[in-house]
Amino acid sequence: MVLLLRLSLFLLISLPTAAGQFGKPFLRNLIEAGFAKSDLNVVYFTTSNAESVSFLAGDYPRVFLPRFGTGRWDGRKVRIEAQSMVVIDGRHEPVAQNKCLTYLLKELARILNPGSNKFVLLVDRTFTDGFQANGVRILYEAVRDSGIGYMALLSFTPSTEKPVSVTRISFGELVTYAPSELDNPWSIFRFDIRSLDGERVAGLLYNFFPFSYITRNRRWMGTDFYMWNVIAGQLRLRLQLIYAKPNNPQFIGGSHSPAMRNGTVHFIATRDMLIPDGQPKLHLFARDHLSLVIPRPFKRTLIDALLQPFTQELWILIGVFIGVRAVVGHLAVGKMCCTLEPWSEWLNLAADVVTFILIEAYLAKVTSLLLTLRYTEGPQNLEQFLAARLPILEPLDSKYVLFQAGPELSARLKDRFVRLDMSEMRKSTDECYVELRSRVLQLTHGTEPFDPVTGRRNYYILDEPLAIIHYQYTFAKETALKHIFERCIGQYEENGLRVRMEKHFEHWAQVQQLRKQFGINSTVLSFGDLHSLWLCVALGWCISGAVFLVECTAHRVGKRLVSRIKRKK
C-alpha cells in the first residue's frame, strides 16, 4: 500500500513536467538547451508576426530586431553580442520567385559579426522540398562565403509548430535530419566522431608549403601533415603517408593519377582546387587565394643614378685614365719630355678634351636617369598587371590552375605565358607565376629586387587575387572514411585547432624571414653568425700592418737617400 502511494505521488509530480517538456516547440527546446549548456547569452528574433510571440515564448534574454520585409536594404548592419543566437522567421514569406531566399539573404547580410554565433532559419516546407532544392543550395553557398559556421534550417508546415525536417549547414557541411533523430536538440550544433580502430589508410603527401613540406633535417611538417596525424591518433588509424615524388608516374595527375585509380591510396593529403572531375571531395571551410606572384621591380635611387651611367668595363678604363694622368702630373714627366714638342702639347690637349667629354656624358646620363628612370613601380592590381605586359611562367597544369579564374581572365593570362626549360628557369628571374597562396605566405619578401643575403630575386603578391578558392581533399572512392574525416576536420574548424596551427606556422614563417634578412641562423645570435665580422677585423689588422711596414720602409729609404745626397754635396 505504501509502495502504491509513493508510485502514484511520483507520477503526479513527474507527468506534468514531462508533458510540459515534450509539449514545448522544438525551437524553444533548442534555445533552452543552449542556455542550459551556457553556450548562449542572448537570442535575437527577426519577426513581425504576432503569432510568433507565443511560439517564441520562454524565460531567457531576447532582443526583437525589425525586419526588412520586401523593401530595399539601406546597407546598415547590426552588431550582435558574442555567443548569441539569431532566429530569422521566414515561414510566411512566399517561396515563389525566390522571395523567401532573398529575404533570408538580406537578413543574414546585415549581421556585422557572424563569427561563432548560431543562426536558426524558420522556413515553410516547400522551401526545402527535395534535398537538391535550388534555394537550399544557393543558401548553402552564401553561408560558406559569408563565414557563418553554425546554422540550422527548420522547415514547418502551416498547421504545426514542430519542424518537419532539420538541416544543418556548418563549416561547409550540409546534412538533413528528422527531428526524431535528434535526442538532444543542441546536438544540431555539435559534431560526432566514430572510431575506426585499426583500419589501414594510405594517403599521398606532396611537398607543398605550408600545408606539407620537408624541413632541412628531412622531416615532414605542415598543417596538413599535423592534422592528418591528429586524426589518425584520435580515430586509432594505421595511417601511412606516402611522399609523392614529382617524377614518379604513379602519382602524376593528382586525383587522376594511377595510384588513385587503382586504389593503392585512399586520399590525396594535399590541397586540391575545386575541379569538377566527378570524384568524391572533402570540402574545407578555409578560404585561400589564387594569386599572381610578381618579381620586385628595379629602383633607381640617387646612388644608382651616380653609378649606373657607364658599364663596369668603362668605369675601369676611366679609372685607369684618371690614374695615369694623376701619376704623370705628380711625377712631372712633361718637363722631362720637353724634346717631344709639339707632341706633348697635343697629348695634353687630347687628354683635356677626353676628360671634358667624359664629364659632360656622365652629367647627361645622370640627369636622364634622375628625370626619367627615378623609380619603377610594379603593378598593384590586376588592371595594372594586364597593362604592364609582364610575362608569366606557364604552370605545368595551367588548365586546372586557372579553372577558378574564369574563362575570360584565363584567356588574357594565357596570352602572357612563356614556356622555359629547367636551365632557363634557373637563369631567368623576370617572369611572374601563378600560385595558390595561403595566408601564411602573404609576407613581404624584402623591398629590394635581390635579397642582399641570399642573392635571390625577391617577389611580392599582387593585392588583388585572381580567385578565392575553397580548398578540398580528393578521395579515391566514396566510403565511410571520407565522411568521418569530414566530421573530424569540421570539428577542428569548430574548436579552432586549424586556426592555431596556421598562427603557429605563420609565426614560424615570420621568424624565417627575419633570419634571412639579418643573416641569423639560430634563434639567438651565436659566434657562428659573426664569421664575416671576424674576417673583416682580421683583414683590417692585416691592411693596417702592411701600411705600417710600408711607412717604416719608406721612412728608412728616405733617410738613406737624404744621407747619400748630403755626402755627395
The per-residue pLDDT for range 314-328, each reduced to its tens digit, is: 777 777 777 777 776
pLDDT in tens, 105-161: 888 888 887 766 889 999 988 888 754 467 888 888 888 777 787 889 999 887 777
**Pairwise CA distance, residues 303 & 370, whole Å:** 10
The domain limits of the chain are 20-189, 192-279+476-495, 302-372
Residue range 50-62: average pLDDT? 68
Residue 117: exposure state from Cβ atoms within 10 A (0-12, 13-18, ≥19):
buried
Residue 18: predicted pLDDT: 38
542 vs 553: CA distance, rounded Å: 16
Confidence label for 3 from pLDDT (cuts 50, 70 and 90): very low
Are the beta carbons of 451 and 458 closer than 8 angstroms? Answer: yes
| Confidence at 1, pLDDT banded by 50, 70, 90 | very low
Per-position DSSP letters for 189-245, written without gaps between them: GS------TT-EEEEEE--BTTTBEE-TTS-EESHHHHHHHHHHHHHT-EEEEEE--
Of 162, 151, 147, nearest in space to 27 by CA: 162
pLDDT(499) > 70: yes
- The C-alpha cell at 190 is 555539435
Phi, then psi, of 50 in degrees rounded to 5: -65, -30
pLDDT for the residue 154: 92
Distance (Å, whole) CA 203 – CA 231: 13
Average pLDDT estimate for 183-206: 74
> 264-295 burial, b if ≥16 CB within 10 A, otherwise e?
ebbbbbbbbbebeeebbbbbbbbebbbbbbbb
Q: Tally helices (H) and strands (E) across the chain.
A: 18, 18
Quick check: 392 pLDDT over 80? yes
The pLDDT of residue 42 is above 50: yes
CA distances from 268 to 116, 171, 282, 400 (A): 30, 21, 10, 16
**CB within 8 A of 339, min separation 6: which ones?**
none
The pair phi, psi for residue 48, each rounded to 5°, is: -125, 10
Confidence at 290, pLDDT banded by 50, 70, 90: confident
CATH number for the domain running over 192-279+476-495: 3.40.190.10
Q: Cα(22)–Cα(183) distance, rounded to whole angstroms?
A: 12
**Tell me, what's the pLDDT at 523?**
46
For residue 1, give the H/E element and its range: none
Residue 252 vs residue 272, higher pLDDT:
252
Confidence class for position 12, pLDDT limits 50, 70, 90: very low
Q: How far is it, in rounded angstroms, from Cα 459 to Cα 462? A: 10
Average pLDDT, the chain: 73
Does 436 or 462 have the greater pLDDT score? 462
What is the per-residue pLDDT for 470?
Answer: 67
Residue 448 forms beta bridges with which residues? none
How large is the average pLDDT for residues 239-259? 78
Top-confidence residue, 339 or 137: 137
Beta bridge partners of 294: 460
Asked if 469 and 290 touch (Cβ cutoff 8 Å), the reply is yes
Class of domain 20-189: alpha beta
